[in-house]
Structure 1
Amino acid sequence: MSPGPLSAEVAEDEALARLLEEGQRGDTGTVEHYGAATDAVVERYGPVDAPAIVLVHGGYFRPGVDRTHSRPQARALAAQGWQVLLPEYRRVPGAACTTTEDLAALDAHLRDQHVDVRAWVGHSAGGALVLWRALAPELPPVRVVALAPVADLDAAVAQRLGGDAVRDWVGAGPRDAPMTYARLDPIRLAARAPEALERVHLVHGTSDATVPVGQTEDFPAARTLVRDAHHFDLIDPASRHWPAVLGAIRG
């Protein structure tokens, strides 16, 4: 039997608290700057000559939610033999394009270093950002795995997900900032770049209480729905659902 909404919310809160605690201790990787912004740093885990994964953390685009809770995931993926790149990026309310500017700078930085990036993997808001990375026409092709992504910004605004997180990040709703939504919204970008969808895989838990599973079900790309998984199961190496995530990342 699937857990109810309340139990899923409690489970998510408990999992996030544990991931934050684990992320605050132990290995934090090798840190380097990749761009001009103060926040433009990336932590590297695993062997430097291994195929790489760029791991983009979530947090509903809020400035106060950084990469700490994604460190256990980064360490677990590194233990599987990947080089894992866990970036920080700007999340400036009302200046959403600074986020994608940073990630584009990271992409250029890694290409300049000839890093063998096999996939961009992102969770929640980070899932939206890796979908942007796959579908942005100005960037080279890459495979992405979006975990519980915010894939439809209009729906996120209409449903006030994350306490109006998307509206706060953009600084306006879709009607008042149509060009910004056109540049950032994965579902809009998908309509303009259908050929890129072959490199996209979405993974979502059916008991997600933070980002509704409909965000993935309504997106026109390959998907895996993980029965009874909640929002943070998809980035938690201790979760019984973690093998499904590994399988999607391995492709």
Structure 2
Amino acid sequence: MREPTAIETAEDESLAQLLDDGIHETPSSHRYGPAADAVLERYGADDAPAVVLVHGGYFRPGVDRAHARPTARALAAAGWQVVLPEYRRIPGAPCTATEDLAALDAYLAGEGIDVHAWVGHSAGGALVLWRGLVPELPPVHVVALAPVADFAAAVADRLGDDAVRDWIGHDPQEAPMTYRRLDPTALAARAPDALQRIHLVHGRDDATVPVSQTERFPAASTLLAGAHHFDVIDPRSPHWPAVLAAISR
């Protein structure tokens, strides 16, 4: 068995700490949609500008929002009202995730919450890119942190042990229309005006989602030298101020 690299070990340790910090405090949650998983947590002052924080986990059902709670608390401490949603991640039924996020969008509008930006990490970065690029929903600003931005490349490179293929349930050749509806790179080609509202942040040393996913995406980006996959959501990271700056733009 191959020994993990120093970067992989650092990523594992960072995720473990985020999880440990996240599971010890469970804020109250509120239902925002009809699905059982459609719940959200809120952090910060009700009158502060709002951001939606969409967690990652390579679309796997077993990875929930717990590891994103330290990020949500840090954003609240920086002056944001943070909405941290849960959403469905069903292998072979990827549109359940986007249905939940569309329901969240409608819920927040109904509550009169003016969202400054949708912020997402990893798989959540892919989903906020989807949110920013689909023409059926109102325009929003998006900050995608270490996103899976190119599904075809992710499948070809077998990122996350075939995470994208498992989530969608097919290869791109088998389900081209599904990839066309969900793949941020495919959506970007059809929504050039929306790209002006999108900013990507990615660590150059990311061992989980390669920085090439962001480098090839046709939107503004900040590439962080020496940063790994979880540095962009870890408030203890020296790269955290750069993430805050990107969100505050």
TM-score (norm 2): 0.98
The amino acid that maps onto 1:41 is V
Equivalent position of 1:95 in the other structure = 93
Q: CA deviation at 1:154?
A: 0.1
Give the conservation status (yes or no) of the 8 Å contact 1:30–1:45. no
Match of 2:127 among 129, 136, 159: 129
Q: Specify the SS of the correspondent of 2:7.
A: helix
Structure 1 ranges of 4+ moved more than 6 A: none
Equivalent position of 1:205 in the other structure = 203
Unaligned runs of 5+ in 2: none
Q: CA deviation at 1:70?
A: 0.3
Unaligned runs of 5+ in 1: none
Match of 1:184 among 178, 182, 202: 182
The amino acid that maps onto 2:174 is D
Q: Specify the SS of the correspondent of 1:215.
A: helix
Identity %: 72
1:158-197 counterparts in 2 under 5 A? 158-197=156-195
Q: Specify the SS of the correspondent of 2:40.
A: strand
Q: How far, CA to CA, are the matches of 1:74 and 1:169 in structure 2?
A: 25
The amino acid that maps onto 2:67 is H
Q: How far, CA to CA, are the matches of 1:45 and 1:29 in structure 2?
A: 9
Equivalent pairs counted in the alignment come to 246
Q: How far, CA to CA, are the matches of 2:167 and 2:247 in structure 1?
A: 28
Q: How far, CA to CA, are the matches of 2:31 and 2:134 in structure 1?
A: 23
Equivalent position of 2:155 in the other structure = 157
**C-alpha RMSD over aligned residues:** 0.8
Q: How far, CA to CA, are the matches of 1:219 and 1:107 in structure 2?
A: 25
Q: Deviations over 1:84-135 (max 9, x none)?
A: 0000000000000000000000000000111010000000000000000000
Q: How far, CA to CA, are the matches of 2:121 and 2:68 in structure 1?
A: 9
Equivalent position of 1:117 in the other structure = 115
Equivalent position of 2:222 in the other structure = 224
Equivalent position of 1:23 in the other structure = 22
Q: How far, CA to CA, are the matches of 1:201 and 1:125 in structure 2?
A: 16
Q: How far, CA to CA, are the matches of 1:66 and 1:136 in structure 2?
A: 24
1:49-88 counterparts in 2 under 5 A? 49-88=47-86
Q: CA deviation at 1:152?
A: 0.2
Q: Specify the SS of the correspondent of 1:172.
A: coil
Equivalent position of 2:145 in the other structure = 147
Q: CA deviation at 1:30?
A: 3.6
The amino acid that maps onto 2:167 is W
Equivalent position of 1:104 in the other structure = 102
Q: How far, CA to CA, are the matches of 2:187 and 2:160 in structure 1?
A: 22
Q: Deviations over 1:27-78 (max 9, x none)?
A: x334100000000000000011211000000000000000000000000000
